[in-house]
Amino acid sequence: MARGKLLVGLSCLLIVVAIGFAACKKAEPTPTPRPTATPTATPAPTATPTAGPTATPVPTWTPVPTAKPTATPTPVPTWTPVPTWTPVPTATPTPTPKVTPTATATPKPTATPTPKPTPTPALVKASISPASKQVSAGEAFALDVVVNPAAYRISAGEVELSFNPQVLEAVDIQAGTLLGSNVILGTRQIDNVGGKLRIAVARVGSIPNTAPPTAQGVLAATQWKVREGVAAQQVSITISFVGLADNSFQDVPGITVSPCTVKVQ
């Protein structure tokens, strides 16, 4: 390659010399008597050889050694020993001893005493006596309000009677002997318009707890008259209210009442 470059340089030099010689031959002297100028050859520019493209060296292929494949050992499964069956010894049944029952003495049932029923106190009763009366028009008659105190000691009492004022007329009402001969009169009312007859009385003095219960007696004594000219019919006189107090001045509960039937002929 260096030799080629040298030949190219020499060729270029010969061309330059030839061009200079030709130029000198063509110049003619000037007729002017001036001194002839010696032409100086102008050196032609030296052609700079153009360097050709430098060949890029091709890299030499170096063979790469092929890696030998490494054989990977395949794992062999580890053999797991199978457990040896060990026979289980059969349990020999142990004979259960028979239990001899021990005779237990059966206790005799204890007789539970039956509680005696608590005696229910007798009910206090208030009634009109007699329970039935047969009268004529214009006739007068008497009725009593009777009280059975049962087991109570009665200190006071009040009673109200209701009737038909168109047929009957209440004439009088007085305290009876239930609370003794000497009593305190509280209320005494006669209403022949509304048909009401009422009285309230109290015993004088107190009754000790050791005293016996009050005996049955008349709380109030009443007087009546049948109105003139009434037709034959049947009417009733009823106990619309009754109240009793014991020796502690407490109300006596559960008083039953009974009316009186008046038959007008």
Side-chain-side CA neighbours of 265 within 13 Å: the count stands at 5
End-to-end Cα, the chain, rounded Å: 183
Q: Per residue of the chain (265 residues), give pLDDT as tens.
A: 444 454 445 554 555 444 554 443 444 444 444 544 444 444 444 444 444 444 444 444 455 455 454 555 555 555 555 555 555 555 555 666 665 656 666 667 677 777 666 555 569 999 999 999 999 999 999 999 999 999 999 999 999 999 999 999 999 999 999 999 889 999 999 999 999 999 999 999 989 999 999 999 999 999 999 999 999 999 999 999 999 999 999 999 999 999 999 999 9
Q: Is the distance from CB of 169 to CB of 161 less than 8 angstroms? A: no
Nearest to 169 by CA among 141, 146, 134, 129: 141
Chain centroid to CA 222: 66
Residue type (1 letter), 180: G
Longest Cα separation, the chain: 219
- Does the structural domain 124-264 have CATH classification 1.10.287.1400? no
Report the C-alpha gap between 124 and 57 in whole angstroms: 151
Residues paired with residue 175 on neighbouring β-strands, in sequence order: 220
Q: Is the distance from CB of 145 to CB of 233 less than 8 angstroms? A: no
Side-chain-side CA neighbours of 20 within 13 Å: the count stands at 14
Q: State how far the alpha carbon of 60 is from the alpha carbons of 53, 63, 64, 73, 168, in Å.
A: 20, 9, 12, 39, 162
Residues 124-183: pLDDT tens digits?
999 999 999 999 999 999 999 999 999 999 999 999 999 999 999 999 999 999 999 889
Helix (H, G, I), strand (E, B) or coil at 25: helix
The 10 Å Cβ neighbour count of residue 234 is 11
Nearest to 126 by CA among 244, 245, 213: 244
Residues paired with residue 133 on neighbouring β-strands, in sequence order: 262
Residue type (1 letter), 142: A
Residue type (1 letter), 120: T
Place of tokens 């063979």: 63
Q: Which helix (H) or strand (E) holds 208?
A: none
Tokens, residue 236:
């009733």
Determine if the peptide bond prior to 39 is cis (ω within 30°). no
Helix (H, G, I), strand (E, B) or coil at 39: coil
C-alpha triplet 46, 50, 52: angle, nearest 5°: 160
Domains of the chain, by residue range, sit at 124-264
Place of tokens 């059966």: 106
In degrees and rounded to multiples of 5, residue 177 shows phi and psi of -105, 10
Residues 25-39: pLDDT tens digits?
444 444 444 544 444
